[in-house]
A and B are shown apart, each in its own frame.
Chain A
Amino acid sequence: MSHAFAALQAFLLKSSGLSLDKEKKYLVEARLTPVIEQAGLSDLGELVTMIETDKALAKLVTEAMTVNETFFFRDRQPFEGFRSAILPELLKQRARQRKIRIWSAACSSGQEPYSIAMIVDEEARQLTGWTVDIVATDIAESVLKKAKDGVYTHFEAQRGLPAQHLVRYFAKRKDNWVINQHIRARVDFRQQNLMADFSHLGMFDVIYCRNVLIYFAPDQKRDVLNRMAQRLAPDGYLVLGAAESVIGYSSEFKPHSANRVILSRRSATPHHEPLRAGASLEQARAAK
């Protein structure tokens, strides 16, 4: 393994938690060649030297190497589960506060939080008088900008998105599809590195963290999961990617009966009991 590759591995692990094994050499080449060329450098060796001091370049490298694959209603289960299990439970659990906070962590170009926002809109009747906050974060400014713009290509707009949703929630602009203002306004996009402290985001009832942790090294995975547990109400939900599990990384979560991508906090109280709400927990923490 070359020195440059090892240096890149170390940099990515530290900057974004990304665990890059040596089988991913092709990925480095595919993603970083344009960055190297754009910066007027000759090879990876020069690039890793430069990013030690050049913060802007370091950011470009992180953004190029982090995976942005996403599409609307990806894998279905996490969204069907939200509609059929999480939301009905929260409607009972939060009946007093009438407030639900959802975090889409590593939201990439916005398809995940917008999918949630569309469901919230479809369930608007049940949610009359409720506040539903959707906070969506990603490490990469470039994908966040796309997410905020809410403009999707012909191909993106047809992947995972039912035609009924397309005509209901999007408008056509030239060859692209733009998500409606009222859906866009439901999502608060913010830049956030999951390796950095995210306690300022507040407490959540639901955290979507899908297909992110699979790229993290075990220690980083443990750390992020445990800090997420602290951001999640005791009766809140963690939603993972289809092939992911917390086994061996965190004991804070247990499987939920609705489907296998939904986890609840181990400390959760049965949902039919009156609840110690997330909001009061937050106040208690703030008071400390």
Chain B
Amino acid sequence: MKNVLVVDDSPMIRRIAKKILEELNFKTCEAEDGQKALAAVNAEMPDAILLDWNMPVMDGLEFLINLRQLPNGGSPKVLFCTTESDVKHITRAMQAGADEYIMKPFNKQIVKSKFEEVGLC
């Protein structure tokens, strides 16, 4: 079973994402900001990361840049999942090493489609 780290400061979003991902047969773990997510990936590198952009302490983009510099940090598929939904943000995320981009609000179809896109579904 593939493991997805859900990084979002909203417990509600984490709960919804977790439910959808479990229905798609993923194992999930959670972190509420970029710094906690870094600690989590240092302990165990997941197969994929569903990543919010705007979070306290460390935001998603900063986390992603840090992640990609870690040994094995290139391996997880990173899918942004954010309310930021303009071309500029999407382009910036992709350039920083994101594999896919989900604009909130999302549903199961979108999550499934994006995980298929990165080859995990």
Q: Which residues of A are interface residues toward B (Cβ below 8 A)?
A: 71, 76, 154-155, 158-160, 162-164, 166-167, 171-172
Contact yes or no, A160 B87, CB < 8 A = no
Which residues does chain B contribute within 8 Å of A166, judged by CB atoms?
90, 101
- Assuming the A-B contacts A154-B103, A164-B94, A167-B94, are A159 and B110 also in contact, with contact meaning beta carbons closer than 8 angstroms in the complex? yes
A–B complex contacts, Cβ < 8 Å, 23 sampled? A76-B116, A154-B85, A154-B103, A154-B105, A155-B110, A158-B103, A158-B106, A158-B113, A158-B114, A159-B113, A160-B113, A162-B117, A163-B90, A163-B100, A163-B101, A164-B94, A166-B90, A166-B101, A167-B87, A167-B94, A171-B87, A172-B85, A172-B86
Tally of A-B Cβ pairs under 8 angstroms: 36
Q: Which residues of B are interface residues toward A (Cβ below 8 A)?
A: 85-87, 90-91, 94, 98, 100-103, 105-107, 109-110, 113-114, 116-117
Contact yes or no, B109 A159, CB < 8 A = yes
Please, how many angstroms separate the alpha-carbon atoms of A172 and B90 in the complex?
Answer: 12
Please, how many angstroms separate the alpha-carbon atoms of A257 and B51 in the complex?
Answer: 40
Which residues does chain B contribute within 8 Å of A154, judged by CB atoms?
85, 103, 105
Contact yes or no, B117 A172, CB < 8 A = no
Please, how many angstroms separate the alpha-carbon atoms of A154 and B104 in the complex?
Answer: 9
Please, how many angstroms separate the alpha-carbon atoms of A127 and B3 in the complex?
Answer: 42
Please, how many angstroms separate the alpha-carbon atoms of A163 and B96 in the complex?
Answer: 14
- With a 10 A CB-CB cut-off, give which of A71, A76, A166 has the most chain B CB atoms: A166
Contact yes or no, B94 A163, CB < 8 A = yes
6 closest A-B pairs by CB? A163-B101, A158-B110, A167-B90, A167-B87, A159-B113, A162-B117
Closest beta carbon of chain B to A83's beta carbon, Å:
16
Q: Which residue of A lies closest to B117 (CB)?
A: A162
Which residues does chain A contribute within 8 Å of B101, judged by CB atoms?
163, 166
Which residues does chain A contribute within 8 Å of B106, judged by CB atoms?
158
Which residues does chain B contribute within 8 Å of A171, judged by CB atoms?
87
Please, how many angstroms separate the alpha-carbon atoms of A155 and B111 in the complex?
Answer: 11
Closest beta carbon of chain B to A173's beta carbon, Å:
11
Closest beta carbon of chain A to B46's beta carbon, Å:
20
Which residues does chain A contribute within 8 Å of B100, judged by CB atoms?
162-163
Please, how many angstroms separate the alpha-carbon atoms of A163 and B114 in the complex?
Answer: 9
Closest beta carbon of chain B to A115's beta carbon, Å:
13
Which residues does chain A contribute within 8 Å of B109, judged by CB atoms?
155, 159
Please, how many angstroms separate the alpha-carbon atoms of A159 and B109 in the complex?
Answer: 7
Q: Which residue of B lies closest to A159 (CB)?
A: B113
Q: Please name 7 further chain A to chain B contacts, defined as beta carbons within 8 Å, in addition to the given A76-B116, A158-B113, A167-B94, sorted by A numbering.
A: A154-B103, A154-B105, A155-B107, A155-B109, A163-B94, A164-B94, A167-B91
Please, how many angstroms separate the alpha-carbon atoms of A31 and B107 in the complex?
Answer: 23
Closest beta carbon of chain B to A279's beta carbon, Å:
37
Which residues does chain B contribute within 8 Å of A155, judged by CB atoms?
107, 109-110
Closest beta carbon of chain A to B5's beta carbon, Å:
19
- With a 10 A CB-CB cut-off, give which of B94, B103, B106, B109 has the most chain A CB atoms: B103
Which residues does chain A contribute within 8 Å of B113, judged by CB atoms?
71, 158-160
- With a 10 A CB-CB cut-off, give which of A159, A162, A163, A166 has the most chain B CB atoms: A163
Which residues does chain B contribute within 8 Å of A163, judged by CB atoms?
90, 94, 98, 100-101
Q: Which residue of A lies closest to B102 (CB)?
A: A158
Closest beta carbon of chain A to B80's beta carbon, Å:
8
Which residues does chain B contribute within 8 Å of A162, judged by CB atoms?
100, 117
Please, how many angstroms separate the alpha-carbon atoms of A51 and B100 in the complex?
Answer: 48
Please, how many angstroms separate the alpha-carbon atoms of A171 and B101 in the complex?
Answer: 16
Please, how many angstroms separate the alpha-carbon atoms of A171 and B90 in the complex?
Answer: 12
Which residues does chain A contribute within 8 Å of B91, judged by CB atoms?
167
